[in-house]
A and B are shown apart, each in its own frame.
Chain A
Amino acid sequence: MSYFKDIFNAVKTLLTGMKITGRYFFVNLFTRRDVITVQYPDNIDTLKMHDRFRGEVIMGHDENNMHQCDACTICENACPNGTIEIIWDKEKNPETGKTQKVLLNHIYHLEMCTMCGECIEACPSDAIEWGQNFHHVTRDRSNLTKSLNRPESILNPNFVKSKK
């Protein structure tokens, strides 16, 4: 008797599966409502990557051209493959009179970066973050070595080291 029960169950479960995939097919055939892929080169103007996308490491600047990097070099030490080089100098702060580190150049070698995210996790002041750009194709690999802080940018005096 279980022989016929098996056949019946087999047909029933197969039809259940076909019902589900059939719904996908006909909904997409007539409405394209659930299509999850995007038409890449056509939508280049409106394309918005999802929040967790890792395109490259960037440094955030506010409207006064200020960043939050105080050149602590924790990200440089956290990087497993030497992607980040920080060039800094010591300067006397005119207000407090203390000498402190000042960021001159935050060099980021995109060609060596594996997008592991160790630097961003390690940063105590949220100075660097993930960028959404993925158009990295270039004819010359020296174009991939980037300076993350903008020219003439200075350390934001009001920032608070949040982590650690």
Chain B
Amino acid sequence: MILELLNQFMPAEVAFYVELVIIAVVYLGVFALLGLFLVWMERRVAGFFQLRLGPNRRGPSGLFQTVADALKLVSKELTATEGRDKFLHGIAPYFVIVAALMALSLIPFSAELQAFDINLGVFFVTAVTSIEVVGIFLAGWASNNKYSLIGGMRSGIQMISYELSIGMTIVTMTVLAGTIQLSEIVEMQRGGWFIWTGHIPAFIGFMVFMIAGTAESNRTPFDLVEAESELGAGFHSEYSGMGFAYFFLAEFVNMFIISAMAVTLFFGGWLLPFEIGADIPFVGAIIFVVKTLSVVFLMMWFRWTFPRLRIDQLLTLEWKYLIPISMVNIVVMAILVWLGLTF
């Protein structure tokens, strides 16, 4: 759409690159706004859960509180420990933030609003989000701080383990959908969301996906990577100012990405049930964002309810429970699809 507009008054090659730049800038803006909004939402929701009000002074309902916090972080001095690995310490936040940005570019906000619709969609998202663990591990290693290193090690264990059950759940849903292109997965759900058409295995898959997704985005009850009470702040304890802000924003955007994937795979993306208001432009994007924020709220609900797991409990949960369940789940789903028992 933008490309056609640009083609009218500049040569085709130039227009192509200009379009790339425009989309990149738009996504960077969306990324920052999304991060700020989610941080505000987290604090506000946490307030209500704990019988408080949360931020309520700057702007309507305290909406600009996080903007003020971000400005503070931008203006802060960048400090660092002695004996750190300068290069790795500097580059680590960019691994995390670039991984989150690349995954964000694949999220199908609506039929028109998707920057990068490749036929490997789901696979690409899982591949890109696992780059993030490299950034967190580098941050822990390069900080020259034992607590950071423990945090980084734990993130390695945790994110690589839970990637398995996320992957298997995605395979389960792929069996049902018959495609791994994100926009087509949504189109397949025009007759009914997968959580309905796939009934039992899809529901089990959703539960496994939410547990593993919470662990993937390093949130409580799986926040062993940060573990304020034992590790300070874990892998990012030696970052200040923007370095810290990158990790912080990326964490929240990752939560959004996990929720967006859950909405795409289970809750019909930009579609309402029974095709109400299906193809009005931009309504789809609003529906998608509302659905995603509901799933984000579910993750916040987990955070303010459950206590943190110990590392051995974490691994028991993954290897003894989630992986066997999701393996059986794939088989059940395959049999259901084979016998045509889906709705």
Q: Which residues of A contact B (CB under 8 A)?
A: 7, 11, 14, 17-18, 20-22, 24-25, 28-29, 32, 34-37, 39
Interface string of B46-90 (1 = CB under 8 A from A): 001111110010000000000000000000000000000000000
Q: How far is the CA of A39 from the CA of B304 in the complex (A)?
A: 23
Whether B52 lies near A35 (C-beta < 8 A) is: yes
Contact at A25–B321, with CB atoms within 8 Å?
A: no
CB within 8 A of B301: which of A7, A22, A28, A34? A22
B305 cross-chain contacts in A, Cβ below 8 A: 14, 17-18, 20-21
| A37 and B53 within 8 A (CB) | yes
Known: A14-B306, A18-B305. A24 touches B53 (CB 8 A): no
Shortest distance between the CB of B117 and any CB in chain A (Å): 36
Question: Residue-by-residue, is B297-337 near A (CB-CB < 8 Å gives 1, otherwise 0)?
Answer: 00001101110000000000000010001000000000000
How distant is the Cα of A45 from the Cα of B207 in the complex, in angstroms?
50
Q: In angstroms, how far is the closest chain B Cβ from the Cβ of A38?
A: 10
Contact A17 B306 (CB under 8 A): yes
Write the nearest CB–CB distance from A96 to chain B, whole angstroms: 59
User: Which of A11, A14, A35 is close to B53, meaning CB atoms less than 8 Å apart?
Assistant: A35
Q: In chain B between 264 and 304, which residues have their CB closer than 8 angstroms to a CB of chain A?
A: 301-302, 304
Q: Chain B contacts of A11 at CB under 8 A? A: 207
B324 to chain A, nearest CB (A): 9
9 A–B pairs (Cβ distance < 8 Å), ordered by A: A18-B305, A20-B305, A24-B48, A24-B50, A25-B49, A28-B49, A36-B52, A37-B52, A37-B53
Cross-chain contact A28 with B48 (CB below 8 angstroms): yes
B306 touches A25 (CB 8 A): no
Most buried by B among A20, A28, A34, A36: A28
Residues of B within 8 A of A34 (CB): 51
Whether the Cβ atoms of B49 and A24 lie closer than 8 Å is: yes
* B98 proximal to A (CB < 8 A): no
Instruction: Indicate whether B45 reaches chain A with its CB closer than 8 angstroms.
Output: yes
Enumerate chain B residues within 8 angstroms of A29, measured Cβ to Cβ.
48
Question: Judging by beta carbons under 8 Å apart, are B51 and A28 in contact?
Answer: yes
When the two chains form their complex, are residues B304 and A21 in contact, meaning their CB atoms are under 8 A apart?
A: yes
Residue of A nearest to B298 (CB): A18
In the complex, how many angstroms separate the beta carbon of A151 from the nearest chain B beta carbon? 42
Chain B residues within 8 Å of A28, by CB: 48-49, 51
